[in-house]
Amino acid sequence: MAKRAHVYPQVELAAVDLVDVPVAVASAEVTVADALTLARKRNAGWLAAGDASVLREDLARAVSLGLGELRAAEIARPLPVIDAGAGEAAVRRLLAAGAPLVTVRGPKGPAGAVSSRLVGGALADASAAGRMNRGLPADVRDLLTTIGRIADEHDGRAFLVGGLVRDLWRDATIERRDLDIVVEGDGPTVARRLARAVGGSVVEHRRFLTASIETRAFGRIDVATSRSERYESPGALPRVMPASIGEDLRRRDFTVNAMAIELASGEFGLIDPLGGRVDLARRRLRTLHPLSYVEDPTRIFRAARYAARLGLSPDRATARAASLALRLAPYPALAGQRIAAEIEHILSETRAGDILAGLGRSGAFRLLDPRYRFTATSRRRVGELPGALAWADGHALDVDAVGLAALALVDGQPPVVADAALARLGFSGGPLAVLKRAQATGGALAAELARASAPSARARRLRGRAPLELAWLWLSGGQDLRGALDWFVGIDPRLVSLDGDDVVALGVPRGPAVARVLAEVRDARLDGTLVNRAMEEEHVRQWLARGG
């Protein structure tokens, strides 16, 4: 005889039933060190310091960076808060959007938090196949499949990461073919095998567990072992250790750059544990934790670049993190060449002047010297910097773009601050001497050019100047000076018909005399008193007759 099936009641869990992270409560003034001690004593994963929510992992990070005396509230995160009676679905939605914890509020205050373990399961939570089919050529998709297969053959898993993933999810036009690959496993070994498969050359960087492949067909392919990072002092380069793809994404700079596409299954699943897709949709730039800029202050420059290029705005917590990092300057462990490299990247952006001006207003250039102040002169110079670089490029002048940017930034600063900033950016020896000469002589040279009546007199004052000095004169000068520079760099190098052999054949002895007579001929040509070769030859004969 058949038995009636037993009917089990449906259980609807509330947020309070899902709490798996205990909370400790402290005053709003508690220090990082004391807060961490309390969190450990209570076995709490987060701390309610007044109205601020602080993660235990952030407290530990701050202590390791020597910031134990900070107020804990200064490294708070904007964690989502939900009532104790809210349903499980609401908690899951908040975690899926990238929240590290969802804090639960009970009748008497914080009841704890729910961690991302709730949403666990498969790492890839969406398919990127459609976007890859639309955004990438077939040969690149085939290459990515090959990379996934090679990694699998070496007991690893490969993932596409970086700006390409972000731009695919933005449905942006993909303009560059360079690829960033992360391998759970032995990245350099996969890179060597891949280089053989695509006919490229490989360079390994063992300290950072990375390798770079240069190919004709696909440009550059960077392959890295998935890794975590540990910063031992603010601004220093991190120690890296092999880790999972999830940990690798959590070490990155911004959520929109912390997404990956898995290449093992052939389905191109998207991994987005920190809510990068949501931030892209909301046009929001968000750091991964409150001390991101303290660990690596150069991220402040990258933030400005991404915000301008992608149309993103930092959220309030990210802006607070930048302010904290700048307040803690200087960073003795931060190599100035890393700042110079970021400035160079900015100069390649279409809105370089606006980006540099925004950084100046934020106080970012205090990383060069704490006494630096961004003035109206600084703002004017960086605003016109792209025009000066375009002018130099249009006249085939080999100008150090970062050097010219450095001059723009330090113009009007006290000499001691300017000198410190130039040294901080890594200038020394000959390049520094050129910058100093441009600084010291630019104003006087502009005045001399204004007084010069003859074209030859203007040319003599500009002749022999380094390209960077000419570009600085253009950048710092008015319309008349720029006109004179346009004229000078546009002088036809074939203006003088005679060359050294010609004047020697006319009787000029070899040596310094050749240069002297040719300089006279050139000046006369510029002034219009000589207009053809015959007149040049006659000028040389008269020069000889005068005894040189």
**Is beta strand 81-83 parallel, antiparallel or unpaired with respect to 101-106?**
parallel
Q: What is the pLDDT of residue 124?
A: 65
If you compute the radius of gyration of the chain from its CA atoms, what whole number of angstroms results? 31
Q: Return the pLDDT at 371.
A: 96
**pTM assigned to the model:** 0.90
Q: Which residue has the tokens 């600085």?
A: 472
Whole-Å CA distances, 480 to 159, 404, 411, 485? 56, 21, 21, 9
For 84, residues 6+ apart whose C-beta sits below 8 A from its C-beta are 14, 15, 16, 104, 105, 106, 107, 111
Q: What is the pLDDT of residue 3?
A: 55
pLDDT given at position 547: 81
Q: What is the structure's pLDDT at 45? A: 95
* Cα-based angle 201, 239, 237 (whole degrees, multiple of 5): 85
Residue 502 phi, psi (nearest 5): -65, -45
Q: What pLDDT is recorded for position 175?
A: 72
Rounded-to-integer distance, Cα 517 and Cα 537, Å:
11
- The four Cα atoms 447, 453, 459, 461 give a dihedral, to 10 degrees, of -30
Consecutive H or E run containing 261: strand 260-262
Per-residue confidence (pLDDT) for residue 11, from 0 to 100: 62
Q: Give 149's contacts (C-beta < 8 A, 6+ positions apart).
A: none
- Domains of the chain with CATH codes: 15-118 (3.10.580.10), 126-281 (3.30.460.10), 352-489 (1.10.3090.10), 500-545 (no CATH)
pLDDT under 50: residue ranges of the chain: 1, 121-122
Predicted confidence at residue 548, as pLDDT, reads: 72
pLDDT on residue 453: 87
pLDDT value of residue 119: 66
